[in-house]
Amino acid sequence: MQEWLTKIENAVDLEELESIRIKLLGKKGLLAAEFAKLKNVAPSEKPKVAKELNELKAKITKLLAEKKEELQQKELKRRLESEKIDVSLYSPAGYKGALHPVQSTLDRIIEYFVSMNFSVETGPLVEDDFHNFEALNLPKHHPARDMQDTFYFNDGMLLRTHTSPVQIRTMMSQQPPIRMISPGPVFRRDFDLTHTPMFHQVEGLLVDSKDRVSFANLKFILGDFLHYMFGDVRIRYRPSFFPFTEPSAEVDISCIFCDGKGCRVCSNTGWLEVLGCGMVDPNVFEAVGYENVSGYAFGLGVERFAMLIHKISDLRTLFEGDLRLLEQFR
Ligand code: DAH
């Protein structure tokens, strides 16, 4: 038996100890065999032998428990050692991401209009004909629908071609006065140097009673906004046409690349077109059931702003996910 006690003493891990325990104390173990032999012992000897066996069993059990505790402590210590983290160790800086230039430009645009008390509204990307066209004074077969090549679904729904439908949704779910912008993706069947099938717009709309909104208000807010975005530029308004505004205008800033002298980017005109705007057409107010109000609206392309601000010449590079482009904006 001494041999087994030594084995317990020398066990190196919990696994070995467990196999010794089974060998000694298990149902078919050595001690069970010794107890079985009791029936052959002379009755006078039996109590003595049984007592010795019980004492041996108690001794082994105690030894096993002590060894187990010791081995567990050892194992814990080993794990703590091996998993120790040296927090003072030098580690090279990890990879740092950056905001996509379209996102940072959008953030800046939103920041301006929120500071002017405009709310930020959203609408669905899959729109119906009423919100995307009809209510915006673009009846079926109106030639101006061709200005925007549309992705249609089979059920007559479509991918919105501009953020203007959110004007309609906001006017139909709220009451004037309204001051809102609506940023988000829009979709058109277009793909070249300056067009991608998905891009981002910000729509703006202000509606109030007739005596409180004028074209001068529109000029003020857009002028202030463009100076916020582009710094010290000159601004001009060119008469234009949009079905949902009357009168309508396009807004140019003096070319930020040549300061208006004329260069490749501005096609030697000295001007860059950045916005569409106008006074809300009465037909639009009629479509949403508004009376005795006046309003102005504007719409802009976020990628165009981002390209001008960051001097990016090919719009498509913004959507190729090339890390070499994104790394420049860290
Ligand atoms: N929806 C126009 C577009 O996609 C942009 C626009 C122009 C919006 C003039 C307006 C506006 O609200 O008044 O090209």
Predicted confidence (pLDDT) per residue in 26-64, tens digit? 999 998 988 888 888 888 888 998 899 999 999 999 999
Residues with Cβ < 8 Å from 195, sequence gap 6 or more?
188, 315
Please state the rounded mean pLDDT for residues 139-148: 78
pLDDT at residue 188 in the model: 94
Alpha-carbon gap, residue 73 to 67, rounded angstroms = 10
pLDDT at residue 302 in the model: 97
- What single string gives the DSSP state of each residue in 28-57? TSHHHHHHHHGGGS-TTTHHHHHHHHHHHH
Question: Does residue 318 or residue 185 have the better pLDDT?
Answer: 185
Share of the chain above pLDDT 70, in %: 99
For residue 277 and ligand 1, the question of a CB distance below 6 A is answered with yes
pLDDT in tens, 72-87: 999 999 999 998 888 8
11 pLDDT above the threshold of 80: yes
**Closest residue by CA, ligand 1 atom 7:** 276
**Closest residue by CA, ligand 1 atom 12:** 298
**Closest residue by CA, ligand 1 atom 4:** 162
This prediction has a pTM of: 0.72
- Is 162 strand, coil or helix? coil
Alpha-carbon gap, residue 273 to 266, rounded angstroms = 9
Q: Ligand 1 centroid to 277 CA: how many Å?
A: 6
- Is 71 strand, coil or helix? helix
Atom of ligand 1 nearest to the CA of 162: 4
pLDDT at residue 98 in the model: 83
Q: Does the domain at residues 101-329 carry the CATH identifier 3.30.930.10?
A: yes
Q: Where are the domains of the chain?
A: 2-83, 101-329
Local confidence band at 147 (pLDDT 50, 70, 90 cut-offs): low
Alpha-carbon gap, residue 15 to 11, rounded angstroms = 9
Q: Ligand 1 centroid to 301 CA: how many Å?
A: 9
Please state the rounded mean pLDDT for residues 130-151: 87
94 pLDDT above the threshold of 80: no
The average confidence (pLDDT) of the chain is 92
326 pLDDT above the threshold of 90: no
Please state the rounded mean pLDDT for residues 265-271: 92
Share of the chain above pLDDT 90, in %: 68
pLDDT in tens, 229-264: 999 999 999 999 999 999 999 999 999 999 999 998
Provide the H-helix boundaries in the chain.
2-10, 14-25, 30-37, 46-82, 101-115, 129-132, 165-173, 215-230, 282-288, 302-310, 323-326
214 pLDDT above the threshold of 80: yes
195 pLDDT above the threshold of 90: no
Q: Which token pair is 102?
A: 């379209």
The label of the residue with tokens 């719009």 reads: 315
